[in-house]
Structure 1
């Protein structure tokens, strides 16, 4: 069930208090624990003065040369701890005649159906808010292949208006953000889960009910780099890939490393099949049976 709420909350707090309260009340990385305490982020949204002050500070840091967050101009980190981080995000309307239209679409991730590999609680803060379409899917039932069909729930349309809260559950909710009619700002509370780097994040075609790519997360970046070694490699590459197959925590990464080895050094795969469980992983065992390699899997 999608989690959307216009929560009535009167308290007002700043980002540091928000982080402290999250640490105090949200004891585990679970949907229930986060949603039951969503009032914490809603209370931050009631503070109508802090964010402009933070953007003033950011502008002054450009003047002084101290600004480090050069690659995410639409996003500003407000507070970070070991378990949570809080950000603001600016959402701008797009000008169809702009020479930077394509860049802006990618920057704001408009019109791209995607999930998140972490828990993300968001609230509208300023402006009319971005319209969004949301679907549910079961990540336990997919293997992550490009073109793989995915069962989607019926679409839900909503707008992230000021005070409205949406919980994008980890590898559960797919959403499509659309350009708002006017500049809007949202606030996010995200969970810094240690498992996030091991989980995929997908781009979908909701009309075809299919996975069409990866969303630039570290999981996808690892697979992209592994694919590079099909072209550039030496003996050390073979050793490193073999270690990934034996020991890495992420099953998809192990499979892709094995399949790259199939391409560049097939003999190195024989002892791995004998001494590890790699050959019994379902979506690899099917490929081994058909004699295929990993290329159809590695770019997602």
Structure 2
């Protein structure tokens, strides 16, 4: 279950104060207690009732130039500062089911009703409104084959502080009773881009989809299909030697898709399966390869020469 944190009693601080504190405070986003200790700082920003309105007004005056330049999220997210290598600060908007934007666009743009985990930890604070509701589950990342366990429905109350644990806490957000806003500190680490985020099936408790994508996945496919022998050698090197299992699986899938008529393709997918649960031999028919100009025939196997130090 998500962890409720005592927000403390410190007075309101500015956004600059929070940024300075985060930049000078050592913390480890992979250590639950270390990251949770930042929570009272977020709560102190939450007691500042003016800063978010001031930021919104300033953005509107510049036709949202700051958000357009740095915000890679959708319209539901307002970046409080450009992303930092150790943390991200944002405000999230949660319209109710009766709000005009939901009536016009439906609930999908706000990810309402989709059970998912996160490949990073984050702290959230109820800043405005009654708070959105969520159904909560807990999932053991060390036993991905085990179904998640339902832990209840609740909402984040005004002034409440909560920690979402990376890869463990699963939730499906539901519209609040009235428009609400939460504030977030997201833990950031270079390893997070290699960690999968999942959508879950509440009916079975099982992982339904992998939501994470990375530019390397498309680049690996381009290299195998268009890069000739040099591209194949490079991707094969990554498949065998890259330190992270996700990249090894990505490279193996790319190699298999580049040689769809080769008997090695099924073997490559099977080799990738331990590193990436979505790639298993029974799922091979879901791989949509781009047909290579010269599918491998007798004596034309995928080479394993190491060309990268």
CA distance in 1, matches of 2:223, 2:104: 34
SS at match of 1:155: strand
Q: Which deviates more from structure 2 when the two are superposed, residues 202-211 or residues 87-96?
A: 87-96
Please name the residue that 1:74 is paired with. Answer: 76
Please name the residue that 1:101 is paired with. Answer: 105
CA distance in 2, matches of 1:280, 1:71: 31
User: In structure 2, which of residues 138, 141, 144 is the aligned counterpart of residue 139 of structure 1?
Assistant: 141
Unmatched segments (≥5 aa) in structure 1: 143-148
Cα shift readout 1:208-250 (whole Å, capped 9, x = no counterpart) = 11111122x335x655x37966996562653453243134343
Q: Normalization by structure 1: what TM-score?
A: 0.78
1:58-207 maps to which residues of 2 (within 5 A)?
58-62=59-63, 67-68=68-69, 69=71, 72-79=74-81, 80-95=83-98, 100-102=104-106, 105-142=107-144, 149-207=145-203
Q: 1:231 to 1:138 in 2, by over 3 A?
A: same
Please name the residue that 1:212 is paired with. Answer: 208
Cα shift readout 1:55-79 (whole Å, capped 9, x = no counterpart) = 0011112177984348622211113
CA distance in 2, matches of 1:230, 1:99: 44
Please name the residue that 1:146 is paired with. Answer: none
Cα shift readout 1:161-212 (whole Å, capped 9, x = no counterpart) = 2111121111111011101121110000011111111100000012211111
1:297 deviates by: 8.1
Q: 1:84 to 1:227 in 2, by over 3 A?
A: closer
CA distance in 1, matches of 2:120, 2:191: 9
CA distance in 2, matches of 1:254, 1:153: 30
Please name the residue that 1:48 is paired with. Answer: 49
**Pairwise CA RMSD:** 3.6
Which structure is higher in RCO with an 8 Å CA cutoff and minimum separation 6?
Answer: 1
CA distance in 2, matches of 1:63, 1:154: 40
Q: 1:14 to 1:118 in 2, by over 3 A?
A: same
Q: 1:107 to 1:237 in 2, by over 3 A?
A: farther
Q: Which deviates more from structure 2 when the two are superposed, residues 57-66 or residues 202-211?
A: 57-66
Q: Which deviates more from structure 2 when the two are superposed, residues 23-32 or residues 193-202?
A: 23-32
Please name the residue that 1:264 is paired with. Answer: 258
Q: Which deviates more from structure 2 when the two are superposed, residues 131-140 or residues 90-99?
A: 90-99
Contact 1:113 1:175 in 2 (8 A): yes
Unmatched segments (≥5 aa) in structure 2: 289-309
CA distance in 2, matches of 1:41, 1:65: 22
Please name the residue that 2:10 is paired with. Answer: 10
User: In structure 1, which of residues 248, 252, 265 is the aligned counterpart of residue 246 of structure 2?
Assistant: 252
1:134 deviates by: 1.5
Contact 2:93 2:181 in 1 (8 A): yes
1:38 deviates by: 1.1
Q: 1:227 to 1:214 in 2, by over 3 A?
A: farther
Contact 2:198 2:207 in 1 (8 A): yes
Contact 2:248 2:275 in 1 (8 A): no
Count of aligned pairs: 279
Q: Which deviates more from structure 2 when the two are superposed, residues 82-91 or residues 245-254?
A: 245-254
Q: Normalization by structure 2: what TM-score?
A: 0.76
Please name the residue that 1:36 is paired with. Answer: 37
CA distance in 2, matches of 1:76, 1:66: 7
CA distance in 2, matches of 1:66, 1:47: 21
SS at match of 2:150: coil
